Structure 1
Amino acid sequence: MDIPTFDLTGRTALVTGGSKGIGFGMAYALGAYGARVVITSRGEEEGWAAEEQLQEAGFDAAYLPCDVTKKEQIDGLVAETVARYGSIDILVNNAGMNIRKPLIEVEESDWDRVLSVNLKGIFLVGQAVAKQMMEQRYGKIINISSILGTIGMPYQTSYAASKGGINQLTKVWAEELAPYNITVNALGPAYIRTPMTEEWLNDPERYRQIINATMQKRVGELSDLSGPVVFLASDASSYVTGQILNIDGGWTAR
């Protein structure tokens, strides 16, 4: 029996929103398993700092600026990545944002901004990278969703809508791209401890609610995403596609 490998040596991974938070954590994990890693974000200062951190860890890593809501920038990102490394084997489609407000306070501009980054951005990047992967006849697309693509929560109108859309894109793309030896899956994290979530996790009442909703009675750490993203990026997941893997300590199983 063939034993599948998690080794990513020789593979090129593109991670959007890879300069901080869970994007950086996943980029680091892919680099640790041998992948060449290209991270991208709008914030150039953070991007160059993240590139330096990855390189200091011994990884073959590069930062390329890109706004995922701008098609021409995405096309340039894909072209530059292929020019440097010859392929894009793994896409971690992660760039995202949130504006938390009660339903009746959500401005049209709030809705447009969140959906533009979280859903349009996922679509545009996925479309551009899929073209390259179809030519290669190989690829691993990992869309970053959320448990809020599955469950409801107050003050998350725009965000939850975008993440539900990501889950459906994942299933549609998996069907379309399967003939090209491309798998498409999504990760749906619950609360992961990052600078973005620190304010919420430092609120005792909010923290208590999160812990009570989670079977394992803790919040997630960046390391909790390392195994799942490496699994979906590797040949060990060659028979897994169209799936939403919730990384949530059991939250959505209740």
Structure 2
Amino acid sequence: MTDLLKGKVAVVTGGARGLGGAMCQLFSDEGAEVIALDMGDMTYEKTNVTYMPLNVTDKQESKEVFDHIIEKFGKIDILVNNAGITKDALTRKMSDDQWDAVIDVNLNGVFNLTRYVGPHMAEQGRGSIINISSVVGTYGNIGQANYAATKGAVVSLAKTWAKEFAMKGADVRVNTIAPGYTMTDILKTVPDDLLDKFAKMTMLNRLGQPEEIANAALFLASDMSSYITGQLISVDGGMRL
């Protein structure tokens, strides 16, 4: 490894598994002190990855966790807003609970922590925030009106925060990654014929791996992307919907 994040403190929501887990492990390999925030149990052990429980929909808990991280680690250099859920249904069949739950985690949860981390980065003069969106946020998808709405919204949030947190001259960058179909544990339960269909929807004729999304996050978290902000990067194998 190249120590791209040596001396950095990175916070990743939804960091106990899946894409968030891959990011936490890669960031640790690259020299960062990493805090994995999640409601579920950790699915791996890694040097320099500290687990802290957090329900991102809880406003008070988000503030308390932010304060605790600053007290223990002194700063936050990188924030990845990765925590998210799906509760799919056609719009005519979608319940209020399904709509509200996805909005609360995928949109409000992003705001609840960033409202503290962003100003902190602006005050310390630098930082990188990465929102995790989805191809569904760009293209839409049948049965995912709630999910698509949130994943489109976090792109707009990143563009707004890129302006707000840098407006007094701070070197704070805010970007978004839109992953395509990626082989996390959820997709491992999908029948092979559907996986083949998903793969054929990409230019590269294959599904993504969590490490490939993590590599994009590493690029945006590190100084390799020092002149990139307010941007959406699609990591989807050239998806065609």
TM-score (norm 2): 0.94
Paired amino acid for 1:140? S
2:180 and 2:98 map into 1 onto residues whose CA distance is 22
Figure out how many residues of one structure are paired with residues of the other and give that number: 238
Task: Give 2:57's match in structure 1, choosing from 63, 69, 72.
Answer: 69
- 1:107 matches 2:95: yes
**Which residue of the partner structure matches residue 185 of structure 2?**
195
- 1:31 matches 2:28: yes
**Which residue of the partner structure matches residue 232 of structure 2?**
244
For the residue of structure 2 that corresponds to 1:251, the secondary structure is coil
Matches within 5 A, 1:94-243: 94-178=82-166, 179-200=169-190, 202-204=191-193, 206-243=194-231
Matches within 5 A, 1:38-49: 38-43=35-40, 46-47=41-42, 49=43
Q: Give the Å deviation of 1:203.
A: 4.5
More helix by share: 1
Paired amino acid for 1:197? L
2:170 and 2:68 map into 1 onto residues whose CA distance is 23
Paired amino acid for 1:30? F
- Asked if the contact 2:77–2:121 (Cα under 8 Å) also holds between the matched residues in 1, the reply is yes
For the residue of structure 1 that corresponds to 2:35, the secondary structure is strand
- Asked if the contact 1:6–1:234 (Cα under 8 Å) also holds between the matched residues in 2, the reply is no
Q: Give the Å deviation of 1:85.
A: 1.2
TM-score (norm 1): 0.90
Structure 1 pair 61–82 and aligned structure 2 pair: CA distance change class (3 A): same
**Which residue of the partner structure matches residue 13 of structure 1?**
10
Paired amino acid for 1:190? G
For the residue of structure 2 that corresponds to 1:64, the secondary structure is strand
Q: Equivalent pairs: percent with the same residue?
A: 37
Paired amino acid for 1:9? K
- Asked if the contact 1:6–1:231 (Cα under 8 Å) also holds between the matched residues in 2, the reply is no
Q: Give the Å deviation of 1:20.
A: 0.7
CA displacement 1:17-59 (0-9 Å, x = unmatched): 100110101111111111000001112xx13x54xx11xxxx2
For the residue of structure 2 that corresponds to 1:150, the secondary structure is helix
For the residue of structure 1 that corresponds to 2:53, the secondary structure is coil
- Asked if the contact 1:210–1:219 (Cα under 8 Å) also holds between the matched residues in 2, the reply is yes
- Asked if the contact 2:161–2:174 (Cα under 8 Å) also holds between the matched residues in 1, the reply is yes
1:108 and 1:226 map into 2 onto residues whose CA distance is 33
- Unaligned runs of 5+ residues in structure 1 are none
Paired amino acid for 1:10? G
- Asked if the contact 2:24–2:49 (Cα under 8 Å) also holds between the matched residues in 1, the reply is no
For the residue of structure 1 that corresponds to 2:80, the secondary structure is strand
